[in-house]
Structure 1
C-alpha cells in the first residue's frame, strides 16, 4: 500500500479497499487515456460513426461528423496511436474500423446501434 506512516488514516480497512479498487497505476493511466480520447466531441463522433457504420473512409467520416478531411485524418492518427482504430486498404480507398472491444462497449452505451441503411444515399 505504499508508505502510509506519513498519512493520517481514519479507517484502515476502507483505505486498503480504496487502494485495491484503484489497482495498478498503469491501468489507471491507460483508462485515463481512453476517457481523454472519448472526451473530445469530434473524436467521439468519429468513433461512434466508425463503430456503427465502419469500415468507413475518411471522406465519408468527414461528411458524417461535419469536419473537413484533414481534421478527420488528424483525429484518426491519434485514434490509431491509441489503438482504437485500424486502417484497411480497399483498392484505392483507406477505410477505418474499430479495434478495441472495450471502447466499442462504451460507445454502444453512449449511443446504441441506430437502424442503418447501407447503400442508401445521404440526404442530410
Structure 2
C-alpha cells in the first residue's frame, strides 16, 4: 500500500483495504442494494422468502400490487440474480436465488408472521 498521506493507524488502513477486496464485487453489491432499496421490491423478496416459492398472481395478492407491477419487479430482481423462476406445468413460481438476501431478510423481518414459522 502506497500513500502520500500521513496515516494515523497504517495497520487499520491496510485491514480496511484488504476488507474491500475486489472493487467490482463492491460495485455489484451496490447495484443489488439499490434494487432491494425499493419498498415494493423488498416486500416481494420478503414475501417470497416466507412463501419459499410463490406465483406472480399470489405475490400480487400478498403485497397488494398488480400482476403487471409484480412481473416488472420480478424481471429486475431476476436480472440482478436475486430471484429465480421454477416452472411446474403452466405455473411459474419464484424463489430467492441468493443466500445473502435470505440472510438479509432475517434482519429486515427477523420473526415469522403470526401463525407461520420462520424459514
Q: TM-score range by the shorter chain?
A: 0.7 to 0.9
Q: 2:10 & 2:116 partners in 1: Cα distance?
A: 53
Point out where structure 2 has 5 or more consecutive residues left out of the alignment.
none
Q: 1:27 & 1:87 partners in 2: Cα distance?
A: 24
| Residue 70 of structure 1 pairs with residue 93 of structure 2 | no
* Aligned counterpart for 1:89 among listed residues 83, 87, 90: 87
Point out where structure 1 has 5 or more consecutive residues left out of the alignment.
118-124
- Deviation by residue 1:2-21 (Cα, 9 ceiling, x = unmatched): x523x443432222222122
1:48, distance to aligned residue in structure 2 (A): 0.4
Give the stretch that moved more between structures: 39-48 or 12-21. 12-21
How large is the Cα RMSD of the aligned pairs?
A: 1.9
1:73, distance to aligned residue in structure 2 (A): 0.4
Aligned residue pairs, count: 115
Give me the TM-score of the superposition, normalised by structure 1. 0.81
| Residue 116 of structure 1 pairs with residue 116 of structure 2 | yes
Moved over 6 A (4+): none
